[in-house]
Structure 1
């Protein structure tokens, strides 16, 4: 984009900056959501809830399936190391 194009787009700079920031926040949220270490910790908490009688077996099965799907997605992407850092 040339100088004239940049000048014409200048009023939209805050919008472009906001869009970039939202993409960064979304990317970080997805990294945490699919991090294998996070999913494993949630599975452990879920099992503790079941053993303590805080949730039913059906609720456990449903939530465990969701967590295992997340773990499978995370392991399939190969983007994370499982140490909570995503690097």
Structure 2
């Protein structure tokens, strides 16, 4: 019975392969999108720019708020997905 099922399902094999590839692509994209490292680096760069006088307090506060919100979004995603986060 197993051999007959595999023979009958053979035309669907390319679809299963495409599904597998798409799943891997989606997972890789999510890992990259929800990686906190670039956001943390941007916060550090922003702090340096403020301390060196390259940006004003208003720009700093606005950009810092955006980055902190993004970091919170990442941490919420990691919590929901059961991933380990800092």
TM-score (ref. length: structure 2): 0.59
Count of aligned positions: 80
**Residue number in structure 2 paired with 1:3:** 3
Pair 63,36 (structure 1): closer, same or farther in 2 beyond 3 Å: closer
**Residue number in structure 1 paired with 2:69:** 65
Structure 1 gaps of 5+ residues are: 83-87
Q: Which structure is higher in RCO with an 8 Å CA cutoff and minimum separation 6?
A: 1
Deviation at 1:39, TM superposition (A): 3.2
Pair 43,35 (structure 1): closer, same or farther in 2 beyond 3 Å: same
**Residue number in structure 1 paired with 2:28:** 28
Deviation at 1:67, TM superposition (A): 3.2
More helix by share: 2
- 1:56-75 CA-to-partner distances (Å, cap 9, x unmatched) read 5556534541332213433x
**Which has the greater radius of gyration?**
2
